[in-house]
Amino acid sequence: MRKKIVAGNWKMNKTLGDSEELTLEIMEGVHIESPIVVILAPPTPFLHRVKALAFEHKAIKVSAQNCHEKESGAFTGEISVEMLRSLYTDYAIIGHSERRQYYNENDATLQLKIKTLTKWGIRAIYCCGEPLEIREENQQYEYVLDQIRTALFNLTAEEMANVTIAYEPVWAIGTGKTATAEQAEEMHKFIRTTIEGKFGKELADNLSIIYGGSCNPSNAEELFAQNNIDGGLIGGASLKAREFLAIIEAARTNL
Ligand code: PGA
């Protein structure tokens, strides 16, 4: 059975104190034996503290919001995977559309990031998804296929098994405009079939594909009820414990 995941991407929000408070509230609301993998992605300076607080909580994992593809070196301001490992980081979100848009992150680099993450035992949450103009031209499948081909097709089976895919249509991120459950399911199914064609059925069946883009307590249940949607990557609604916990509950009831 593939993992069901609800991940909260806090982006560039919250101070150390806020992060501690939110982590404790979420810990209190998630059962230690929860079958849902709950992932918290705080800003990098707070990763260590959030992990320390949640260390004993079996269901809660922590994620970075980015990492560098190189092992180490003269890259001022960057964070290496080995550094993340030393903070007991479990996952790293890579290829988020904001990083693609503002920091020129591309799929060729993302492939290298996945390789480095696998080497250091950190799981990759690889984000893909089309911008609005591509959806309007009905080119979303070609667009996502191209992203996946460049970032994932040259991975080994071991590296691919280390990946969770997040489908995040760019037009739905932070806009309050969610993909319908049908639109999301169709794309998730397409992604799984694509991965199956390249890496085989067993790997594709075990691949968690989560949805992101204005996912909230009122639409989560319908999204998570779809066959190929294995949870969510949550932005805005992950900043408030009550909303985030309601989304985790929606995932639990759809197991
Ligand atoms: P949103 O962000 O839930 O605020 O739309 C999702 C994301 O960027 O992962």
Binding pocket residue ranges, ligand 1, CB within 6 Å: 9, 168, 173-174, 212-215, 233-237
Q: Is 96 a catalytic residue?
A: yes
Which atom in ligand 1 lies closest to the alpha carbon of residue 216? 3
Q: For the segment 111-155, what is each residue's pLDDT rounded down to a tens digit? A: 999 999 999 999 999 999 999 999 999 999 999 999 999 999 999
Q: How far does residue 168's CA lie from ligand 1's centre (Å)?
A: 8
Beta bridge partners of 212: 233
Can you give the pLDDT at residue 84? Answer: 98
Is pTM beyond 0.85? Reply is yes
Report the mean per-residue pLDDT for the chain.
97
pLDDT at 20: 98
What CA dihedral angle connects 123, 162, 185 and 173, to 10 degrees?
30
Task: Taking each helix axis as running N to C, give the angle between helix 241-253 and helix 16-29, from 0 to 180 degrees, rounded to the nearest 10.
Answer: 30
Q: Is 105 left (phi over 0), alpha (psi -120 to 50) or beta?
A: beta
Q: What pLDDT is stored for residue 178 in this prediction?
A: 84
- Report, in this order, helix, strand and coil percent for the chain, each rounded to 5: 50, 15, 35
Ligand 1 geometric centre to CA of 234 (Å): 5
27, 51 in Cβ contact below 8 A? Answer: no
**Tens digits of per-residue pLDDT, 182-234?**
999 999 999 999 999 999 999 999 999 999 999 999 999 999 999 999 999 99
221 catalytically annotated:
no
Superfamily of 5-253 according to CATH = Aldolase class I (3.20.20.70)
Closest atom of ligand 1 relative to the 236 alpha carbon: 4
